[in-house]
Structure 1
Amino acid sequence: MTMLKLFGIVLFCGLLSPSQQVLSGLSCAVSPGAMQKVLSDAILQNGLLQQHLQGLVLPNIMGEGGLLNSPTSITGLHLVQVRLPKLSVVLLPGIGVQLSIGAKLELSGNCLVGLLSELIDILVDVNITANIKCTNFESGTVQVVTEDCLCILGAIRIKLLSGLLSLSVNEIVLKQLTATLPGLLCPVVDIVVNLVNIQLLGTLNAVIPVGTAGTIHYQLASLPFTSGSFLGLDLDGAVKQVGGSIIPHDSSPSALPPLVDKLLVLGLRQSFLNAVLSLLIQIPPQTFTCTPEIFSSAGNLQKAIATLLPPGCSACRGTSPLSIRLTLSGSPLILLKDKKATVELAVLVQVFVRRSDGPIFNVLLLKADLSLNVHVSIAGGRLVLGLSLGSTSLSLESSDVGISNISNLRPHCSSLLAETLVPLINGALGIGIPLPNVLGIPLIKVDIQI
């Protein structure tokens, strides 16, 4: 499994717990701090809470306690501004996320004390705490439920232009706001949380093009899972070719390493990577003449083949240069082990001459099993694989001229493949494997482990 440890970014993905048996393409774990930044940006920084609290109207407040204990009424009390909002998150194991929002609410209205009417401004500290739980998973979506919403009021500061206000009015206001604000604020929090859920699901469930070869359809695979130290979920990654056919890939449950001091750990499964490689590495057969302009060891390869030709082969002598056709055989296979990634790929190497009368004369048909070293990097939110030739194993498939010993051809064929085929493969891989743009956070400062 390839692990992406990301520093300084927030990602909302998933981690398999021992009880889960979800098969998917990607898994990840997110720290509480990362989740807090995501929700703070979505709820506070983007103005979502202010937007849905704007214009909030409170019930009238009636009582005694003004100047000389005159009847006091506060009417038209409404929210003017949410000041200094702060948000914190606690992950509740097996339950979900505990969300706490603290803010100062600036209220304004009309105050009638006896026969004197004037404007009144109230500044009240509030702290709202609610548990957010995900339920009803279906087809990549979940519903969120806000439970146990608690609204606690702190200090209250009341300002009248005349200043004619007794201490008992503070008590009346505090009592009335304590009774009415929770019933007004908790439904707003529930609305905001559901809107944020829709936004976040929109980044998890996405169809991303892979150049012109096809698409990857990322989709939430299961309900989020929480522990005291991380929040996680799994993503399916359906790899589709142009035309809609899906490249299948099998997955098996696996655990990710601990977060330690990281914000996020993202795991890409080997089978998922193999499916994407099959989509990207679709190189058509390549035919060219065996000349030094094509690859540096062309002359040596021709000489080595010439020594293998039987003396009586009049059809293949005196014809120069040879022609070569390279054809991919089967699908690429990525192997992740011992902190190293390699790609295994089979290639058919046909060496032939074209007779003057037209027909092709097959000198050699070789099968080259390549082991390609993989360099992994992140660029523009994509996982980019760069390949270099590690080793080549040759086997003889057929020969129309009776060649049987090909041992001296391996170094020249390795040069041929390294200089002609590998650059083409790297060109195809250069567009990268698009990763889900989870929460809209760019992938930066990435530490990749295999």
Structure 2
Amino acid sequence: MKMFKIFGALFFCGLLTPSQEVPPDLSCAVSPGALRNVLAGAMLQNGLLQQHLQSLVLPNIMGEGGLLNAPISITGLHLVKAQFPDLSVILLPGIGVQMTIVAKLDLKGNSLVGLLSEIIDIVLDVSITANIKCTNYELGTVQVIIEDCLCIFGAIKMKLLSGLLSLSINDLVYNQLTGALPRLLCSVINIVVNLVSIQLLGTLNAVIPLGTAGTIQYQLARLPFTSGSFLGLDLDGTVQQMGGSIIPHDSSFAVLPPVLDKLLVLGLHQSFLNEVLSLLIQRPSQRFPCTPEAFSGAKQLKEAVMTLLPAGCSSCPRTDPPSIKIALSGSPLLLLEANKASLKLCVMIQLFVQHLDESVRNLLLLKAELGLSVRGSITDRRLLLTASLSSIVLSLESSDVGISNISSLKPHCKNLLVEKFLPLLDGCLRLGIPLPNVLGIQLIDADVRILAGMLVILV
């Protein structure tokens, strides 16, 4: 079988450089290797292209040829099997993706050469080129247009039960087949490409529950774009409270690291993560008595507070345990710096006494500004954040009993927060942030890195 030259096809998008008018919430870079795997899986491995090629209706072949110009008739020609030895992609900067599909078509039909009727087998090599562009972006969708389609045919083999056909008949069949097949094959490619584009866009546009707190709606933010080393996809993430309003946020630009040997680089911008965390970290206030049954450091905390009470305070509790209330104040703030992620939280701690008449005596109202070190990991296409306490700044907001110096309370309040508040925070974060299923690329053995203003997932 003679070798033939393989030509490429522009696939998926005729793409310009990305718009920089509005920063996206998520930035994705897909490598040529990953894109090749995606297209091969969507078109070849699941049998989609084979299935649609099976429906080809091939024209009859008529003519004169062979010895004494005997009449030739080939009818009922149909595809028995298609093999796809190769699918490759090359990224064209600012233009799109060059995709090449090489196919080996096994055809069968009924032949009549002269007065002899037999079954004919035809094996034909073809390379299909289609220039395909994405255009008309609107509300997360794009229109897929095939501008050109070209079929380059390679070797052909034909066989009858009685043996091989003559060269003149070979030429006749080859010429008529290669004249009719391009239109038919390009029609199939058009159908398959549109089906695949719908499937792939479906991975970018999705509404995912965020537990019972709300939802995240991911949506393609603009037309995809290509560089020499990756296909770029920008997504918007809309975070909405369950049955409530959309949580606003301000985006800022950050640059993805190079793809290099990775399949996918997915960057989540700091502002988007803060938007999600403001919904994810929502807990009602805790209220419990300052007793050892409630938390282990209760006795030490009570004793420390008692030493701060003014000597002449007749209404200050000396024997009965006060109550404690812990409440999150304001929204969490995630700060992303090079190789460092930190979470800032403000927690209000109140120690009070509630009298029989339901009136409340405020012993202390403290503001604890917490700094937590954050690490990220990927499990089941969710970003899991784990936080550990690294700093605490304690300040006095008010006291009804005249307490003014709280320096001795810091270690006791730290123990209180570690034991009572941080487990609740971990429970919130354990839910994880659901990620978009970008082109169906699995997030296996993903590496999480922190850049300035961006958390990056590399696969």
Query: What TM bracket, shorter-length normalisation?
Result: over 0.9
Distance 1:138 1:377 in 2: 33
Q: Give the Å deviation of 1:151.
A: 0.5
Bigger drift between 322-331 and 144-153 goes to 144-153
SS at match of 2:41: helix
CA distance in 2, matches of 1:114, 1:394: 101
Tell me the CA shift for residue 78 of structure 1.
Answer: 1.7
Q: Residue 283 of structure 1: CA displacement?
A: 0.9
- What residue is the counterpart of 2:398 in the other structure? 398
Deviation at 1:297, TM superposition (A): 2.4
Correspondence for 2:453 = none
What does residue 70 of structure 2 align with? 70
SS of 1:109's equivalent in the other structure is strand
Instruction: Tell me: CA distance 1:17–1:98, structure 2 relative to 1, closer, same or farther (3 Å).
Output: closer
Say whether the 8 Å CA contact 2:17–2:226 is kept in structure 1: no
Q: Distance in 2 between matches of 1:196 and 1:389?
A: 47
Counterpart residue identity of residue 36, structure 1: R
Match of 1:170 in 2: 170
Could you tell which deviates more after superposition, 96-105 or 85-94?
85-94
Q: 2: distance between equivalents of 1:16 and 1:437?
A: 24
Q: Distance in 2 between matches of 1:86 and 1:225?
A: 25
2:219 and 2:19 mapped to 1: Cα distance? 21
For residues 136-185 of structure 1, give each alpha carbon's deviation from its aligned partner in whole angstroms, at most 9, with x where no partner exists.
11000011122332101111010111226211111111211221111110
The percent of aligned pairs where both chains have the same amino acid is 69
- Check the 8 A contact 1:205/1:218 in 2, yes or no: yes
- Residue in structure 1 matched with residue 447 of structure 2 by the alignment: 447
Cα displacement (A) at 1:311: 0.7
Is the Cα–Cα contact under 8 Å of residues 42 and 196 in structure 2 kept in the other structure? Answer: yes
Q: Give CA deviations for 1:26-83 in whole Å, capped at 9, x if unaligned.
A: 1110100100000000000011101111131222222222233212122222222112
- Aligned-residue Cα RMSD (Å) equals 1.8
The equivalent residue for 2:288 is: 288
Deviation at 1:108, TM superposition (A): 1.3
Stretch of structure 1 that moved more, 309-318 or 202-211: 309-318
1:297–1:415 contact (8 Å) kept in structure 2: yes
Q: Higher relative contact order at CA 8 Å, sep ≥6: structure 1 or structure 2? A: 1
Q: Quote the Cα distance in structure 2 between the aligned partners of 1:271 and 1:29.
A: 19
CA contact (8 A) 1:250 1:271 kept: yes
The residue type paired with residue 20 of structure 2 is Q
2:302 is equivalent to residue 302 of structure 1: yes
Query: Per the alignment, do residues 71 and 201 of structure 1 end up closer, same or farther by CA in structure 2, a change over 3 Å counting?
Result: same
2:7 alignment counterpart:
none
Residue matched to 1:5: none
Measure, in 1, the Cα distance between the counterparts of 2:238 and 2:19.
Answer: 24
| Structure 2 counterpart SS, 1:247 | coil
SS at the partner of 1:307?
Answer: helix
Aligned pair count reads 437
Contact in 1 for aligned 2:220/2:234 (Cα 8 Å) = yes
Per the TM alignment, residue 244 of structure 1 is displaced from its structure 2 partner at its CA by 3.5
Instruction: State the one-letter code of the partner of 2:343.
Output: V
Provide the residue aligned with 2:181 in structure 1: 181
- Show structure 1 runs of 5+ residues with no match: 1-11
Q: Equivalent residues in 2 for 1:148-163 (5 A)?
A: 148-163=148-163
User: With structure 1 as the length reference, what TM-score do the two structures score?
Assistant: 0.94
Unaligned runs of 5+ in 2: 1-11, 451-459
Q: 1:356, CA displacement in angstroms? A: 4.0
- TM-score w.r.t. length of structure 2: 0.92
State the distance in 1 between where 2:244 and 2:401 align.
44
Q: For 2:230 and 2:328, how far apart are their aligned partners in 1?
A: 43
Which consecutive aligned stretches of 4+ in structure 1 deviate over 6 angstroms post-superposition? none
SS state at 2:308 partner: coil
